Structure 1
Amino acid sequence: MISITIDKALLIQLVNFLLLIFILNMLLFKPIREAIKKRERKIQSDQDEIGKLQTEAEDRLKQFQLAIEEAKKEGLAKKEALRKAATEEERSLLAKVHSEVEEELTKVKAGIAKEMQETREKLKEEIKVFASDIAEKILGRPLSHG
């Protein structure tokens, strides 16, 4: 008959293992998960803002297109010179609106990319610090940095 005995060394190893898991969770995993969740919320917020800006841009473009159509109808009723002037104004307004929309979207996208990169770099640095701190605590002595 086989008998299994649990001695003090096994209990100490089990306690050490559970303590290590708890410490790693509190000092490393939980802050990383929180940073990732925060970053995901920021990205979602930025994506929502981009969607809102795109919708606003589309609405503005539709408003300008409606205004241009009205100007076309009025222009057809006027002399040829007035019709040509209205057409030139239409092109100018469309170019301006398109330029403004593209510039605004480019700025927002660049800001998001910059914030994502900054968050990644910050998270990398925090992970290095957490890993070093945990290693020092586990080893019970400072790590040599060189």
Structure 2
Amino acid sequence: MVLPDKTIFIQGLNFLVMIFLLNIVLIKPIREIIKKRKGLMADQLEKIEGFNEDAETKVADYEAQLITARKEAGDIRNAAKDAGVVEEQALLSTAGTEASSTIQAARTEIKSQVKGAMEQLTKDVDKYAEQATGKILGQA
């Protein structure tokens, strides 16, 4: 069995002094370093959150600008398409008018050629009729 004597009090006092000294020399500085590190981590986290918010804002702005640009591109494309349709109609109208006048000129020329051919044939028919009659009657 252990008998308590006065050394136990000295050991207890020695233990308390060592705890006090360790607290001053070792534990407080480590706590300060941990506190500083926590503060630094909190600052870093705030900066990261701020950066993320800025990035989200920039992405939202970029998407809004992209939507606006797509809308403008669609409007420009539609306007160009409408202008192309108008120009196409004008060209078709002009081509139709030119084709109609060309066809009319060709018909007029064909009529004059038919008329000339008919006159020539009419003249030639009389001549051919006389030759045929002469051959039939035996005059040649």
Report the TM-score when normalising by structure 1.
0.48
Query: Secondary structure of the residue that 1:78 maps to in structure 2?
Result: helix
Deviations 1:34-88 (A, max 9, x none): 10121012112101210110111011110111011111111111148x9xxxxxx
Q: Structure 2 counterpart of 1:21, which letter?
A: I
Question: Which structure's relative contact order is higher, taking Cα pairs within 8 Å and 6+ residues apart?
Answer: 1
Match of 2:67 in 1: 69
Q: Which runs of 5+ in 1 are unaligned?
A: 83-146
Instruction: Report the Cα offset of residue 7 of structure 1.
Output: 2.9
CA distance in 1, matches of 2:37, 2:23: 19
Give % identity. 34
Q: Give 1:100-139 correspondences, 5 Å limit.
A: none
Match of 1:14 in 2: 12
Report the TM-score when normalising by structure 2.
0.50
Aligned Cα RMSD in Å? 2.2
Which stretches of structure 1, 4 residues or longer, exceed 2 Å deviation after superposition? 4-8
Higher helix share: 2
Q: Structure 1 counterpart of 2:76, which letter?
A: K
Q: Structure 1 counterpart of 2:18, which letter?
A: L
Structure of greater Rg: 2
Match of 1:37 in 2: 35
Instruction: Report the Cα offset of residue 8 of structure 1.
Output: 2.5
Match of 1:128 in 2: none
CA distance in 1, matches of 2:49, 2:42: 10
Q: Structure 2 counterpart of 1:37, which letter?
A: K
Q: Structure 1 counterpart of 2:25, which letter?
A: L
Q: Which runs of 5+ in 2 are unaligned?
A: 81-140
